Amino acid sequence: MAKETNSSSKKYRKPYLSIILPVYNEEENIFLQYESIINAMKPLKCTYEMIFVDDGSTDSSTEKLREIAGKDKRVKLVIFRKNFGQTSAMAAGIEYSKGEIIIFMDSDLQNDPEDIGRLIEKIDQGYDVVSGWRKHRKDKMLSRRLPSIIANRIISKVTGVKLHDLGCSLKAYKGEILREVNLYGEMHRFIPVHTSWIGAKITEIPVNHYPRKFGQSKYGIIRTFKVILDLITVKFMGSYSTKPIYIFGGTGLFLLVLGFFSISEVIIVKILYNRDMTGNPFLMLTVMLFILSILFIQIGIIAEIMIRIYHESQEMPPYRIKETINVKK
């Protein structure tokens, strides 16, 4: 655990720890979340800041966050003009953070601030990323836990990043590593994968998880399908972003081979059995649907590349800020 000794006072002139909390319609949880973090940080003996990012809340969350920020200068408040999503909220939190270590948490009281100290201990042991694992998760089995288990296994297999719970928001990062990652779309769950591309040392620890007491979950079963599409993008960006001809050209060659076998089969059947295979409507429909599916996936990948070029070339963040409180860039 980092201590504020005389020899390190200069090192920790800025906050040692930045705790980033995206908020969207969590009016009943705001004060309880703030107080629980304050209590958890008391024994840690390190400087810290809390960065609440109000992602276009439509309830009284904004007013309650203003009240907290008005009383505590350690609390930074970033208010979006509308709801841009959790990934954008995290990106804004990173942008305005000053800490050497950055920790993400949900604002729904399901993460336990008491786990922050254990995350920091792992960072101090030399890890760049420490991911929380909700080993005893307190969510519904069919609608939340089972899809999450399946998705995590698929993601681990495809990306090679062996984590049990990529969807857990409670994670700690070295700031120097995290600030090299650009976030767009709904890619927040893949941040450890992005950091692995730049050589981050990653580990995982079990963390506490509590059932939601107030408010409603912002996620549904439809998120599973979004994760699959995001995974395709992540795999492409990690493996083929600098050599897209491998996947596009490879797909073209694969279709060419399929076409060769297909026309060979048609010719052989025509010669041996004198049957007109080209008149079968199901054959034509299958070929058309297969080619269209390939085209749509490739168009989606191209669009992902283009949107990154668009944002990065103009240095334009994927969100718009209405107001900030206690923030100095």
Q: Check which CATH number belongs to the domain holding 135 and give it.
A: 3.90.550.10
| Whole-angstrom Cα Rg for the chain | 24
In DSSP terms, which residues pair with 52 in a beta bridge? 21, 77
Are 205 and 255 within one domain?
no
Q: Give the per-residue pLDDT at 315.
A: 66
Phi-psi category of residue 53: left, alpha or beta, with phi > 0 → left and psi -120 to 50 → alpha: beta
Instruction: Return the residue matching tokens 């297909």.
Output: 262
User: Going by DSSP bridges, is the β-strand pair 17-23/202-206 parallel, antiparallel, or unpaired?
Assistant: unpaired
Residue 1 belongs to a domain: no
Are 37 and 113 within one domain?
yes
CA separation, residue 101 to residues 18, 141, 274 (Å): 6, 33, 73
Residue 220 belongs to a domain: yes
Number of domains within the chain: 2
Q: Give the per-residue pLDDT at 305.
A: 76
Q: Which helix (H) or strand (E) segment is 176 a member of?
A: helix 175-178
Distance between first and last Cα of the chain: 27
Q: Give the per-residue pLDDT at 10.
A: 40
What DSSP line would sit under 40-85, residue for residue? Answer: HHGGG---EEEEEEE-S--SSHHHHHHHHHHH-TTEEEEEESS---
d(CA 211, CA 139): 6
Are 209 and 127 within one domain?
yes
Are 19 and 125 within one domain?
yes
d(CA 319, CA 143): 30
Query: Rounded to two decimals, what is the model's pTM?
Result: 0.74
Cβ contacts of residue 20 below 8 Å, gap of 6+?
A: 51, 53, 90, 93, 94, 97, 102, 103, 104, 105
Q: Give the per-residue pLDDT at 7.
A: 37
Q: Give the per-residue pLDDT at 74.
A: 95
Residue 190 belongs to a domain: yes
Are 86 and 25 within one domain?
yes
Domain coverage including residue 190: 6-238+316-325
Q: Give the per-residue pLDDT at 311.
A: 62
Are 229 and 254 within one domain?
no
Question: Hey, what amino acid is at 78?
Answer: V
CA separation, residue 110 to residues 42, 125, 217 (Å): 20, 26, 11
Q: Which helix (H) or strand (E) segment is 284 a member of?
A: helix 281-314
Residue 133 belongs to a domain: yes
pLDDT averaged per 10 residues in sequence order, the chain, 329 residues: 42 78 94 96 94 95 96 96 91 94 93 95 95 84 73 83 88 94 77 89 93 67 68 73 64 72 70 69 69 77 71 70 86
d(CA 98, CA 327): 10
Task: Order across the sheet with 129-133: list the strands.
Answer: 202-206, 129-133, 171-174, 101-104, 17-23, 48-54, 75-80, 321-325
